[in-house]
């Protein structure tokens, strides 16, 4: 068995590079992995279109990360913004920190999760009797430096969605109870998925997701046959399937690592930034999140394609995913939101 044949949650994962027919979803996930500050992605589409499979597949392919051994928060050994309070104190006191290599974690958030399960809880009795901050980490702690996946996010309680989005935006989770406060890093890529037939997220919450991927059932019969055959081959012999895609998986992993390293050096010309904001203004996008996310996604896309300067083509490739979910809905309008974004983009960027 090759080195790529690793297990996630004790099972082999369908290879990311073998997934076909859902390129927009794959690209949105890849860009968020390159730059988590994009703000996550919400994937809306039909049932049975491979949403969960794709998210697990990209988590499995990511390079391992260095973490502090036995730390429940996946603390980074040198970056203060990515380490817990205890580890930070040890580092500042000059103590030796033992580290290990660990796979990037993907944490599933179940629909019935409580706030304590998500954020963690404080043992008040132990705090009062022994004077120590006894904290039981929640899902946000486990997701630090990883991916937090919420299936059917449109059915999740709005209060919990608010908590997730606040943590994803700030990179920290704070738990306060009875005058005791615990704060720990919670820097993760938030990925939500759902079926629009089962209900939509409120616009205020939808806007806070960095990108929006819209996926539909593949209609081309030959492509459908290819997808079915690939899945059947994996189910019959997953190890053989993973060996077949090993080279492509390694190539993709190297591309992601290189893009992450290049990202700080990618530039976006001022005139292009002005045009991005002009598109947002003409689409009547509320706030500035659309401008910010489009800038970040365009830079990540340029780095993904091994470039240090963003071009108009890079912006065009990402702007629909960054803006389509931020448009105000007019029930009388017949044009698709994605088509509307592209129409305004063409008018702004092609204007002489």
Please identify every residue annotated as catalytic: 289
Q: Are 83 and 68 in contact (CB under 8 A)?
A: yes
Nearest residue to 211 via CA among 289, 108, 146, 307: 289
DSSP 122-148: E-HHHHHHH----EEE-HHHHHTTSEE
DSSP 42-80: EEEE-TTSSHHHHHHHHHHHSPPEEEETT-TT---SS-G
Q: Cα separation of 339 and 46, whole Å?
A: 20
- At 289 the three-state DSSP class reads helix
Nearest residue to 51 via CA among 190, 223, 214: 214
CA angle 215, 220, 226 (to 5 degrees): 90
Separation of first and last alpha carbons in the chain: 58
Nearest residue to 75 via CA among 2, 154, 142, 153: 142
Q: Which two tokens stand for residue 351?
A: 């204007």
């Amino acid at each position: 068995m090759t080195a790529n044949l690793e297990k996630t949650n004790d099972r082999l994962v369908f290879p990311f590079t073998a997934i076909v027919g859902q390129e927009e979803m794959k690209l949105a996930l890849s860009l968020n992995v390159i730059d988590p500050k994009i703000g996550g992605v919400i994937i809306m589409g039909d049932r049975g279109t491979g949403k969960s499979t794709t998210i697990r597949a990209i988590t499995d392919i990511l390079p391992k990360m260095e973490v502090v051994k036995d730390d429940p928060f996946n603390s980074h050994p040198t970056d203060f913004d990515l380490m817990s309070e205890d580890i930070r104190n040890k580092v500042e006191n000059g103590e030796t920190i033992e580290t290990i290599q660990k796979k990037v974690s993907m944490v599933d958030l179940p629909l019935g999760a409580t706030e304590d399960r998500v954020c963690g809880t404080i043992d008040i009795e132990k705090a009062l009797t022994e004077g120590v901050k006894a904290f039981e980490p929640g899902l946000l702690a486990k997701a630090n430096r990883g991916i937090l996946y919420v299936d059917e996010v449109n059915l999740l309680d709005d209060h919990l969605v608010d908590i997730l989005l606040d943590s994803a935006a700030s990179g920290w989770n704070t738990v306060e109870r009875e005058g005791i406060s615990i704060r720990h890093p919670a820097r993760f890529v938030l990925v939500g998925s759902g079926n629009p037939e089962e209900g939509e997220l409120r616009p205020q919450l939808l806007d806070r997701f960095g990108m929006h991927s819209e996926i539909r059932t593949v209609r081309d019969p030959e492509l459908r046959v290819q997808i079915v055959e690939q899945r059947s081959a994996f189910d019959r012999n997953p190890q053989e399937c993973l060996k077949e895609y090993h080279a492509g998986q390694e190539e993709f992993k190297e591309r992601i690592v290189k893009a992450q390293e290049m990202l700080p050096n990618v530039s976006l010309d001022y005139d292009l930034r002005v045009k991005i904001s002009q598109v947002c203004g003409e689409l009547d996008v509320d706030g500035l999140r659309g401008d910010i996310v489009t800038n970040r996604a365009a830079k990540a896309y340029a780095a993904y394609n091994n470039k240090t300067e963003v071009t108009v083509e890079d912006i065009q490739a990402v702007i629909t995913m960054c803006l389509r979910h931020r448009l105000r809905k007019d029930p009388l309008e017949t044009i698709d939101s994605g088509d509307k974004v592209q129409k305004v983009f063409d008018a702004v960027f092609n204007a002489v």
